[in-house]
Chains A and B, each alone.
Chain A
Amino acid sequence: MSDTTTTTTERAPSVYVPSAEALATVLAPGARPPRPSALGASLTFGWRAMLKIKHVPEQLFDVTAFPIIMVLMFTYLFGGALAGSPRDYLQFFLPGIMVTSVVMITMYTGIGLNTDIEKGIFDRFRTLPVWRPAALVGMIFGDVLRYILAAVVILGLGLVLGFRPEGGVVGVVTGIGLLVVFSFAFSWVWTFFGLILRSEKSVMGVSMMVLFPLTFLSNVFVEPSTMPGWLQAFVKVNPVTQLVAAIRGAMSGESDPSATMWLLLWSAGFVLVFGTLTMYRYNRR
């Protein structure tokens, strides 16, 4: 394998001749600036994520088209059967599908990281004298923006279809805030898998294996009370269930403190456990 994949779009006429004088001006050693703060470095890496969106806007499909399809599909598929009408179902279902869509999008964090490593760019980042987690934190900052975008798209579509949250603007913003907090924390699971798995495909495979049961075996689509006991037991401890309950509470104006507390605990746990594992792997390679 060699790096001879070149696209020859160099405009021929001006042949570059290295000039000693020009190089001398850029090689003169200047004073080294102080190293950037942890937050500064993370935000700079976040800026990189923004630039990538600017240059490759197609990558926004999964935070726009995909959530729209999910909302329409399930609302009209289950609405009539489960709640009498799609509009009635939507009042229950919208916070749930918002969670499902956004939590599913978190897996792209792992895929993106895996691609960066495969290409070699992470070698450069890892030789920079900056706060070590900055490259990963910055990457997730960029993803958080995508999560917010997806949540807003879903909310907008929901409002058009007849979703009427009782909690008002404050409730809706609180709900999306909780979702963003959880998704930020959950992304660290994927940075870990992005570091340890060999290829983009295997990251995708593992993500799907985790995400499908996690989102479907929850209170997203139906009330758990109709499920068999063993399943209810799983659904109850599933963090997605807590997240959906907390967001439903916030959006309907009747906050659910217990679910909110569990959701925040889960989030702290994910950052603590998978953040630590990720940084361990990141430093040990």
Chain B
Amino acid sequence: MSRRTTGLAIEAEGLTRSFGDTRALAGIDLQVPAGTVYGLLGPNGAGKTTAVRVLATLLRPDGGSARVFGHDVVDEADKVRSRVSLTGQYASVDEDLTGTENLVLLARLLGLRKPAARERAAALLAAFGLTEASDRQVKKYSGGMRRRIDIAASILNTPDLLFLDEPTTGLDPRSRNQVWEIVRAVVSHGTTVLLTTQYLDEADQLAGRIAVVDHGRVIAEGTPGELKSSIGSGTVHLRLRDPAQRPEAERVLREALDVPVQLAADPVALTARVGEAGTDLDASAQAARALSNLARAGILVDNFSLGQPSLDEVFLALTDHPAVPTDERDDELEAAR
């Protein structure tokens, strides 16, 4: 069995798809190298799920084209299906069935005979720490266990390309780390992973390359490092004791950092980007200078922090509008029927 780990796993050009009046995909271009984790980063409603559903042959695009390992997702859907596997955001196993039953069912549908299917199911349950829960109905699993059985079901046939649609949304930090470890193991064995996420740090942790998606378009693409340096390496957040000092604080900050300062809705909060590409100071030096200038001006600061830009800030920088969440799948269910 030849496993293709070179070249492109996914090539998409100008994919469009609308649901009624909602334009979910407005011309997506993607080139995903095989054997890597590729992140689609964006808020709810950006078009990530729709893009994944088109690439996984669940949805036909209105326009444009996409190939998975060289096979067209519309004309050669069956060939694509034999090489990919999808863990959706929603139930992707049957909640009424037990863990074992779910995996045996899917293994049999992939062509394994009953004894082989049972063996495979038991091995996967063991590797995912679900042996103890194997005879319990999936609806009685915790959130973390649910995600693990979802992913186990997706790698039954060790796919060449695995789609993970927001695999850690709603998980506690420990379960999220478990999922990350699993994703790393999966990709180290040659499976390409296309991961959608709303969290910059998740894409940063896992993905070799990231496409930032907004309103159905890719608005930025590159390695995590390239993306971050393109919008500045950090953000200063501060909270004042006295709201009356905010205009003064804004002026001091602007002079110290030489960047625009955002006034948050909260009357004592301000934020500013530092470490912007093209300046000669690094982010921490700029932040330190800002803090000492504030102290000299007699402005009382309750809280001062320097952090990585959040997704919201990435969005502000790239689009000049904040990430506005809407529920894509609802739009789709609404319009597709």
Contacts and interface: CB of A to CB of B under 8 A. Distances in A.
Interface of A: 1-4, 6-11, 14-20, 22-36, 41, 44-45, 47-48, 51-52, 55-56, 118-121, 123-130, 134, 195-198, 284-285
B102 to A, nearest CB: 9
B81 interface: yes
A15 B116 CA distance: 28
A10 B144 CA distance: 9
B187 to A, nearest CB: 10
Contacts of A33: 110-113, 116
B29 to A, nearest CB: 23
B337 A197 contact: yes
Contacts of A197: 337
A19 B101 CA distance: 24
A119 B109 contact: no
A55 B96 contact: yes
Nearest to B186: A27
Given A55-B97, A55-B137, A127 B81 contact: yes
Contacts of A10: 133, 141-142, 144-145
List the 3 closest A-B pairs by CB distance, nearest first.
Answer: A120-B90, A16-B129, A33-B111
B337 A196 contact: yes
Interface residues of B, number: 78
A4 B139 CA distance: 12
A3 B334 contact: no
B97 A6 contact: no
Interface string B132-161: 110011011111111010000101011000
B109 A36 contact: yes
A3 B170 contact: yes
Contacts of A52: 94, 96-97
Given A47-B105, A127-B56, A130-B109, A31 B1 contact: yes
Nearest to B330: A1
A123 B185 contact: no
Nearest to A27: B189
Interface string B208-232: 0000000000000000000000000
B128 interface: yes
Given A10-B145, A32-B1, A285-B59, A129 B82 contact: yes
Interface string B159-174: 0000000000110001
Given A29-B158, A51-B101, A124-B106, 12 more contacts: A6-B170, A22-B126, A23-B185, A32-B82, A33-B116, A36-B109, A52-B94, A55-B137, A124-B88, A126-B58, A198-B333, A198-B337
B255 interface: no
Interface of B: 1, 3, 53, 56-60, 78, 81-82, 84-86, 88-98, 101, 105-106, 108-113, 116, 120, 123-124, 126-130, 132-133, 136-137, 139-146, 148, 153, 155, 157-158, 169-170, 174, 178, 181-182, 185-186, 189-191, 327, 329-330, 333-334, 336-337
A14 B129 contact: yes
B169 A20 contact: no
Given A14-B132, A27-B155, A197-B337, A124 B92 contact: yes
A27 B141 contact: no
Contacts of A16: 128-130, 144, 148, 178
A114 to B, nearest CB: 10
12 contacts: A6-B143, A6-B146, A16-B128, A17-B129, A23-B182, A29-B190, A32-B157, A48-B105, A51-B101, A120-B92, A123-B86, A128-B81
A29 B3 contact: yes
Contacts of B329: 1
Contact of B111 (A2, A32, A121): A32
Nearest to B84: A127
Contacts of A1: 327, 329-330
B92 A123 contact: yes
A127 B333 CA distance: 18
Contacts of B97: 48, 51-52, 55
Interface centre among A6, A51, A127, A285 (most CB of B within 10 A): A127
Contact of A121 (B93, B113, B128, B186): B93
Contact of B174 (A15, A29, A41, A48): A15
Contacts of B106: 124, 128
Given A41-B109, A48-B105, A127-B84, A24 B185 contact: yes
Contact of A7 (B53, B111, B142, B155): B142
B124 to A, nearest CB: 5
Contacts of B153: 124
Nearest to B165: A123
A2 B169 CA distance: 8
Contacts of B82: 32, 35, 129
Contact of A9 (B3, B126, B140): B140
